[in-house]
Amino acid sequence: MTFEPLSNRLLVSMVENAEQVTKGGLFIPSSAQERPTIGIVRAVGPGKQRPDGTTVPSDIRVGDRILIGKYAGGSVTIDATPYTILTTDEVLGILRD
């Protein structure tokens, strides 16, 4: 199945946190960690529409690594794969090497 976001929405797969170890040697399982805030863009909508009907294309492209807010977006599952759908306004920035 293919998914095409509408307007200024993005389909993002989140980068999962690996299990972490504290300085004292305690393991923190992924279920007890905070929600990941880095994602990889899988699909981009056509852009935001102005009141006059013109479309402003997004600066974000498929494959970009982005930083998002802790509670941004909504979770969905497509073909048994978890994704997050959010708007371009919820993106804090693009991570570059």
Q: Which residues, in sequence order, are bridge partners of residue 91?
A: 68
Residue 58, number of CB atoms within 10 A of its CB: 21
pLDDT in tens, 75-93: 999 999 999 999 999 999 9
List the domain range (segments joined by +) for residue 34: 9-95
57 pLDDT higher than 60: yes
Rounded Cα–Cα distance for residues 57 and 39 (Å): 20
| pLDDT, tens digit (0-9, with 9 covering 90-100), for 21-45 | 666 776 666 555 556 589 999 999 9
Pairing assessment for the beta strands 81-87 and 9-14 based on DSSP bridges: antiparallel
The residue among 4 and 22 whose pLDDT is bigger is: 4
CB 20 within 8 A of CB 33: yes
**Domain holding 50: CATH number?**
2.30.33.40
Kindly state the average pLDDT of the residues 39-67. Answer: 93
| Amino acid 97: pLDDT | 83
In a domain, 39, yes or no: yes
Measured distance CA(84)–CA(34) in Å, rounded: 15
Please name which of 10, 11, 32 lies closest in space to residue 22, comparing C-alpha atoms: 32
Arithmetic mean of pLDDT, 7-34: 71
On the question of pLDDT at 70 being above 70, the answer is: yes
What is the total count of domains within the chain?
Answer: 1
